[in-house]
Amino acid sequence: MISNIETLKSKKVAYFICCGFNENWKSYYEQNIPKDLLDTAIIYDTLGGEMDIQKQKGFDKFITKMVSKNIEKDKEIKILNENIDRFIRALS
């Protein structure tokens, strides 16, 4: 695995995640990707996410409805177009 990390450090890489709870995105990276890989990345960010109740079925739909009722308006789950634009600019 060490050789894979070294290989990735020598490449131009960018990381993105799509997640609904955007306030936690940095901790997702810190818990799952070694710091030295993040330090050498061109960019790493979240692109947001979406929660479409119409696409859910059964128990997933029930949970999605419960979660969506408790989400504050300023923490709405949505696609973050400004982050997508910043990501594209960093890779240009």
- Global confidence as pTM: 0.75
Spatial contact of 34 and 5, defined as CB atoms under 8 Å apart: yes
Of the candidates 16, 22, 23, 72, the one whose C-alpha atom is nearest the C-alpha of residue 50 is: 22
Per-residue pLDDT of the chain in tens (92 residues, 90 and over written 9): 568 999 999 999 999 998 877 788 899 999 999 999 999 999 999 998 887 778 888 888 888 777 777 666 656 778 899 999 999 999 99
Tokens of 87: 């990501």
